[in-house]
Amino acid sequence: MKIIFIGPPGSGKGTQAKRLASRFAIPHISTGDMLREAVQDGTELGRQAQPIMAAGGLVSDDLMIGIIKERLAKPDAGRGFILDGFPRTIVQAEKLDGIVGNGTEPLRVLQLLVPDDAIVRRITMRRTCAQCGAIYHLENNPPANDSVCDRCGAEVIARSDDTEEAVRKRLESFHRQTMPVASYYESKNILRKVDGIGPVDEVFERIEKSLA
């Protein structure tokens, strides 16, 4: 299974990708996680990427392609993989074709569809415990006692980057980047769109069906 997983931030894509990875026993390759780890570990890649990420910029196509090429050459990716966060540009998508295009297993591209308004609602209603990290949702899963954490009694707060304005901004830049990539795969007839609204289990079932 060679899967590219596309979905807006806050759509539950990370959760679904992890589940899919364990279902098929293939690695979940998140370029965001890889970059953060590289910066943390102070590797050569991390040193190159750190100033760009700190300035809120996008890491160059060449650098990203290098990272992915190296990662996909590792033995655990031999049976397949789920790419999360890559490719972000047409150049990256074309280079990826060159890297994986010769295998017998076809590339499958999953696009998780969740309307912006649903994501905004989901994220702006989210509250996190400042102490233990427990996550609540004011509508679906509120703490029993106002803004007090059920688990540890500390204060439950909204993250500063979970405002509607910040979420809409992230979504806008996601759409701007991703639309051309999704169209690229659509024109190759390998894009599968999956409705991402609903309980995690139901969405996962839809994803499995779309891969069958």
Q: From the CB of 144, what's the least distance to Zn ion, in Å?
A: 12
Contact flag: residue 143 with Zn ion (CB under 5 A): no
Q: To the nearest whole angstrom, how small is the minimum distance from the Cβ of residue 127 to Zn ion?
A: 11
3-state secondary structure 102-157: CCCCCEEEEEEECCHHHHHHHHHCEEEECCCCCEEECCCECCCECCECCCCCCEEE
φ/ψ (deg, to 5) at 104 = -85, -30
Stretch that binds Zn ion, among 12-20, 74-82, 152-160, 187-195 (CB under 5 A): 152-160
Residue the block writes with tokens 């954490």: 149
Interaction of residue 148 with Zn ion, rule CB under 5 A: no
Single-letter residue type at 148: V
Which of 6, 82, 123, 149 is the binder for Zn ion (CB under 5 A)?
Answer: 149
| Residue 152 binds Zn ion (CB under 5 A) | yes
151 is catalytic: no
Largest Cα separation within the chain, whole Å, is 57
Q: Is 206 a catalytic residue?
A: no
Interstrand relation of 156-157 and 2-6 (parallel, antiparallel or unpaired): unpaired
Catalytic residue flag (residue 176):
no
95 classed as catalytic: no
Annotated catalytic residue 121: no
**Does 151 help bind Zn ion (rule: CB under 5 A)?**
yes
Q: Show the CA angle centred on residue 189, arms to residues 59 and 105, nearest 5°.
A: 75
Identified binder of Zn ion from the candidate list 68, 93, 107, 129, rule CB under 5 A: 129
Nearest approach, Cβ of 15 to Zn ion (angstroms)?
21
- Tell me, residue by residue from 154 to 183, as one string, x for binding to Zn ion by CB under 5 A and - for no binding: x-----------------------------
Phi-psi region of 21 (alpha: psi -120 to 50; beta: other; left: phi over 0): alpha
Residue 17 neighbours by CB distance under 10 Å: 22
Q: Which is nearer to Zn ion, 15 or 131 (CB)?
A: 131
User: What is the distance of C-alpha 34 from the center of its chain?
Assistant: 12
**Residue 134 touching Zn ion (CB under 5 A):** yes
The one catalytic residue in 79, 159, 188, 209 is 159
Catalytic residue annotation: 13, 88, 126, 159, 170
Residues that bind Zn ion (CB under 5 A): 129, 131-132, 134, 149, 151-152, 154
